[in-house]
Amino acid sequence: MADQNPPPANAEQYIGIGELARQSGCKPETVRYYEGIGLLPSAPRNEGNQRRYTATAIRRLTFIRHARDFGFSVEAVRELLQMADHPTMPCEEVDTLAKRHLAEVEARLARLTAVRDELTRMIHQCEGGNIGHCHIIDVLSDHRLCHQAGPHGGADVLR
Amino acid sequence: MADQNPPPANAEQYIGIGELARQSGCKPETVRYYEGIGLLPSAPRNEGNQRRYTATAIRRLTFIRHARDFGFSVEAVRELLQMADHPTMPCEEVDTLAKRHLAEVEARLARLTAVRDELTRMIHQCEGGNIGHCHIIDVLSDHRLCHQAGPHGGADVLR
DNA sequence: CTTGACCCTCTAGTCGCTATAGGTATTAAG
DNA sequence: CTTAATACCTATAGCGACTAGAGGGTCAAG
């Protein structure tokens, strides 16, 4: 149980890694990984060496997940966490980070849109038949058949 | 050089890996990598054990690069190459592959657009000041402040 | 007291390259 | 001819952000 020898009031305040993961929307492995790379502080352990967490950890992990959902890199998240930990500092840096990220997102959007348009075009122009006459294969074989100018996205369009 | 003991006509037909890379828009390392994973056949070697290529290799590598630029995975490219190698087969499979890829691209596009919108919103709503009152940090801390419904993209929005 | 769910560490695998180390080959200039 | 610059070779490790697996230990219920 969790009340074997607790501090007086608020017992039940510690949860295990599985519960933390559930409440913050990620997996236990990921939590351990985040601890390993220092995004989360090393959790205190119980007598059986298992990690115990409080609401603070839930909040921090939720913040991390959310920032990652927005596509911020782990390094960016690390900086955001540091900033969030210093509420009296000016938020210019947060702003800069967010704007830089937005710019990246927009660049990706542009490339991905170009790819979608070209894919759509080449699929529409294919009218069945055999591969020797397949427009899709033709376009892939010969860049000049593309409506786009340069290389579409640089192989990591989707990343 | 190069015509020491050549087959009669068309001497100069072989190029090295650097030239191949230049002509197809990727790096020598990548060419060797593609050979290693079997996307390109093992190139014939000259007496000094260096790879020699012909126009066929340029075409194949260009096809690969182009398909990768479209965001097809290496495995998908492998399938596309197999299909392109059999021009008399029906192009249904090519079609299917391309359509499945398009669907993925569109899904990513949707998620990325949602992320962009939310990022834009949160940046616009931040009016300077300190981090304690920063809207960007607030939104990252509390998913309920988002205008979007579910999780935005699943951490790999940008991938 | 046993079952089964949960948890632990450590290591390796994913994807698509890229970079490095430590060597050999080729080529152009002197 | 020698030399120096460049290109090439293999093999291995690294990137980011996890994920999966092996081989155990812990915990709570029945």
Question: What is the CA angle A90-A96-A99, rounded to 5?
Answer: 135
The CA-based dihedral angle spanning residues A47, A51, A57, A61, taken in that order and rounded to the nearest 10 degrees = 180
Q: Are the Cβ atoms of A141 and B66 closer than 8 angstroms? A: yes
Give strand pairing partners of B51. Answer: B45
Task: Quote the distance between the C-alpha of residue A82 and its chain's center.
Answer: 18
Cα separation, A80 vs A74, in Å, equals: 10
Reduce the DSSP state of residue A53 to 3 states and report it: strand
Which of A:19-48 have CB within 8 Å of B? 25
Q: How far is CA B57 from CA A32, B32, B120, in A?
A: 46, 12, 46
CB-CB neighbors (< 8 A) of B153 in chain A: 69-71
Task: Name residue, tokens 């039940």.
Answer: A12
pLDDT band at B3 (very low <50, low <70, confident <90, very high): very low
Cα separation, B117 vs B111, in Å, equals: 10
Distance from CA of B152 to the nearest CA of A (A): 6
Give tens-digit pLDDT for B8-19.
334 458 999 999
- Give the number of C-alpha atoms closer than 13 A to the C-alpha of residue A83, restricted to the C-beta side: 27
Candidates A109, A158, A159, partner chain B, best to mutate (most B CBs within 10 A): A158
pLDDT at position B4, please?
A: 35
The answer to whether B93 and A134 are in contact (CB under 8 A) is no
pLDDT at position B37, please?
A: 96
* Residue A132 DSSP label: G
Q: Mean of the per-residue pLDDT values for chain B?
A: 87
Cα separation, A81 vs A66, in Å, equals: 12
* Residue A37 DSSP label: T
Cα separation, A41 vs A38, in Å, equals: 6
How many separate helices (H) and strands (E) can be counted in chain B? Answer: 6, 0
The answer to whether B30 and B39 are in contact (CB under 8 A) is no
pLDDT at position A128, please?
A: 76
Residues with CB under 7 A from strand C: A 16-19, 28, 32, 43, 45, 49-51, 155; B 1-2, 26-27, 29-30, 33, 46-50, 68, 73-75
CB-CB neighbors (< 8 A) of B66 in chain A: 139-141, 143
* Of the candidates B57, B67, B68, the residue with the CA atom closest to the CA atom of residue B22: B57
Which residues are CB-neighbours of B149 under 8 A, at least 6 positions away?
none
Contacts for A97-100: CB closer than 8 Å, 24+ residues apart: A97/A72, A98/B119, A98/B122, A98/B123, A98/B126, A98/B136, A99/B123
Cα separation, B83 vs B85, in Å, equals: 5
Check pLDDT > 50 for residue B7: no
Check pLDDT > 70 for residue B152: no
Q: Are the Cβ atoms of B158 and A71 closer than 8 angstroms? A: yes
* A72, closest residue in chain B (CA to CA): B155
- Any chain B CB within 8 A of the CB of A149? no
pLDDT at position A13, please?
A: 83
CA of A17 to C1' of D22 (A): 20
User: What single letter denotes the amino acid at residue A143?
Assistant: H
Provide the token pair at B65: 């690069």
Low-confidence ranges of chain A (pLDDT < 50): 1-11
pLDDT at position B159, please?
A: 61
CB-CB neighbors (< 8 A) of A115 in chain B: 69-71, 105
Check pLDDT > 50 for residue B130: yes
pLDDT at position A151, please?
A: 56
> Which nucleotide across the nucleic acid strands is nearest to B28, CA versus C1'?
D8
- Give the residue-averaged pLDDT of B73-83: 96
Give strand pairing partners of B149. Answer: none
CB burial of residue A10 (10 Å; 0-12, 13-18, 19+):
exposed
CB burial of residue B149 (10 Å; 0-12, 13-18, 19+):
exposed
Reduce the DSSP state of residue A45 to 3 states and report it: strand
Candidates A131, A133, A152, A156, partner chain B, best to mutate (most B CBs within 10 A): A131
pLDDT at position A5, please?
A: 34
